[in-house]
Structure 1
Amino acid sequence: MQNKHGDFVWYELQTSDIDAAKRFYGPLLEWQFSLSSAEAPRYETCLAQDNHIRQTHEVGGILELTPEMQEGGCSPAWLGYIEVDDMTQACKKLTDAGGKILMPVKSINDVGDVCVVSDPQNAPFYLICSSGAKNSLAFAHDRPRPGHCAWNELVTSDKNAAQAFYQSQFGWTQDGSMDMGDMGSYDFIRHRNMIGAMMNIPAPGLPPFWNFYFRVANIDKAVKYITDNDGTITQDPMEIPGGEFVISAQDPQGANFQLIGTRGDS
């Protein structure tokens, strides 16, 4: 089934050292890599195995930040791509609603039109109007798939305003919430399927951002791997409803990421 307007379809790591990033994420998420562009900025595609259908498919990419990009303020980070039906209309609608265009629209052969934008609270993400009818499986909404993104989480300065914005742009709707005490509610977001959640920033002074939770088979083994390979655990394993555990971490180049998985002997 072809992706729809408002779907998460791609995840991109922007990093200062693409070879080091491949060495770190490859064993952690069981990824293979394919060179997409050798010219600056260098780009590698991330491939994950889907054991259910015994196929390997693309789940994201790694972009190596050029010195000029870094001098312009870019730093290592993960960004998500959201599909749109019409790039021109989507950009106008976004700016009319208070969003910003951070990088002008760029056409990429065999990919489509892409641009970097931010919501009114300044959380950055990509828009993409894909060429062709290819269906992305990068976000595993239907079943657990190791090496795939399992959850998309917006941490923002104004959750209610953010929900109204994303609903107006992509048709996302709130579907339940979880009380987090002094931190407020954790509001679940649906777009045909459950895609993630939104919450207010827990500490003052932090800029809004998106978190992306990638699935691993064993969260404890992942924690050990991260600490043994110059990564940093920024949130220890925390149990979530359903019995799985999540962590937050930082890769050796400083990009934040999240993992979800079970504990035990798996």
Structure 2
Amino acid sequence: MLTTTYVPGAPNWLDLGSPDVDAAAAFYGDLFGWELQTMGPEAGGYGFFQLDGKTVAAIGPLTEAGATSAWTPYFLTADADATTKAVEQAGGTVRAQPMDVFTAGRLAAYTDPTGAEFAVWQPGDTKGLGAVTDVNTLSWTELYTTDAAAAKDFYRSVFSWDYEDMPFAGATYTVVSPSGGGQDATQGGIMQLPQENLDAGSRSEWHPYFEVADVDATFAKATERGATTLIPPMEAEGVGRIAMFLDPFGAPLAIIRGSGG
């Protein structure tokens, strides 16, 4: 499971790019009880979502030409420059070269060989999110990909992730853990997009799961406020109750009430 004791390769940051930061902040504030702490003009409109005084995600305006609203997971690296070289050598694309963010840390952003966007965070003063796995915080990261085999090879090369393939809903779901972390450190999953999704034009993308107290109630609130259904509330054997939707601006995310919760 995710913890704030971050290790290399584990998710340690998450942000949302949105065409309307204020409206998106209002949606997530209503849905999860988050409060937006803006960083001021010098931060280019970037701000932190906070819950009970802890940073649980971040948000900023879309800055790349042609970009669409999406959540981006960041994975911890001890050296963003070295990771950038590893991404290039493994066939990925560098979208943003390593850069310092004041004294908070150092980031870089990439696209994997199958088209999914992700980033890394090299901690400085900011180690990562202040809370995970609590209600209304990040609890899982998941990659839907057009080529699971290629994606697994890429991320193993970049982050040395450990994998465990598991049967799920007639397909194979790959559970991801940081190198040497074992079952207690599982952090996400990789799922091959079915052929019907590929035929419909689905693309590779990362999306977050947020733990909630009541999947059905949260899902109903989201759709009432403009979200688009992708997967209605359902029981996932051995996992818990889940649902998935697009927020009002098109960013995919999922919610879960874990079976252990």
The TM tier, using the shorter chain, reads 0.7 to 0.9
Cα pair 1:46 1:62 within 8 Å, conserved: yes
1:250 maps to which residue? Answer: 246
Alignment of 1:103 with 2:106, yes or no, is no
Cα pair 2:13 2:128 within 8 Å, conserved: no
CA distance in 2 between counterparts of 1:22 and 1:133 reads 22
How far apart are 1:93 and its partner, in Å? 1.1
Alignment of 1:36 with 2:39, yes or no, is yes
Cα pair 2:104 2:126 within 8 Å, conserved: no
How far apart are 1:139 and its partner, in Å? 3.9
Q: 1:199 to 1:216 in 2, by over 3 A?
A: same
How far apart are 1:179 and its partner, in Å? 3.6
Alignment of 1:11 with 2:4, yes or no, is no
Alignment of 1:195 with 2:184, yes or no, is no
Question: TM-score, normalised on structure 1?
Answer: 0.86
Residue identity in the other structure for 1:81 = Y
CA distance in 2 between counterparts of 1:64 and 1:135 reads 20
CA distance in 2 between counterparts of 1:48 and 1:227 reads 22
DSSP 3-state at the match of 1:217: coil
Cα pair 1:119 1:162 within 8 Å, conserved: yes
2:108 maps to which residue? Answer: 115
1:80 maps to which residue? Answer: 73
How far apart are 1:64 and its partner, in Å? 1.6
Q: Pick from 156, 177, 182: which aligns with 1:167? A: 156
Residue identity over aligned pairs, in percent, reads 28
DSSP 3-state at the match of 2:221: helix
Question: TM-score, normalised on structure 2?
Answer: 0.87
Question: How big is the alpha-carbon RMSD for the aligned residues of Structure 1 and Structure 2?
Answer: 2.2
1:53 maps to which residue? Answer: none
Residue identity in the other structure for 1:84 = T
Q: Which runs of 5+ in 2 are unaligned?
A: none
How far apart are 1:135 and its partner, in Å? 5.3
1:52 maps to which residue? Answer: none
CA distance in 2 between counterparts of 1:178 and 1:36 reads 44
Quick check: 101-110 or 129-138, which moved more? 129-138
CA distance in 2 between counterparts of 1:139 and 1:121 reads 28
How far apart are 1:262 and its partner, in Å? 6.8
DSSP 3-state at the match of 1:254: coil
Q: Pick from 158, 162, 165: which aligns with 2:147? A: 158
Residue identity in the other structure for 2:236 = I
How far apart are 1:24 and its partner, in Å? 0.4
Cα pair 1:84 1:129 within 8 Å, conserved: yes
Alignment of 1:180 with 2:169, yes or no, is yes
Residue identity in the other structure for 2:214 = N
Q: Paired residues, what number?
A: 248
Q: Pick from 114, 123, 135: which aligns with 1:146? A: 135
Give a deviation string over 1:95-116, Cα, whole Å, max 9, x none. 0110110122221113211121
How far apart are 1:4 and its partner, in Å? 2.1
CA distance in 2 between counterparts of 1:19 and 1:42 reads 10
Q: Which runs of 5+ in 1 are unaligned?
A: 50-55
How far apart are 1:241 and its partner, in Å? 2.5
Q: Which runs of 4+ in 1 moved over 4 A?
A: none
Cα pair 1:215 1:260 within 8 Å, conserved: yes
Cα pair 2:12 2:127 within 8 Å, conserved: no
Cα pair 2:141 2:188 within 8 Å, conserved: yes
Cα pair 1:219 1:262 within 8 Å, conserved: no
Give a deviation string over 1:145-200, Cα, whole Å, max 9, x none. 1121111111112212211221221121112412432xx31111112201111111
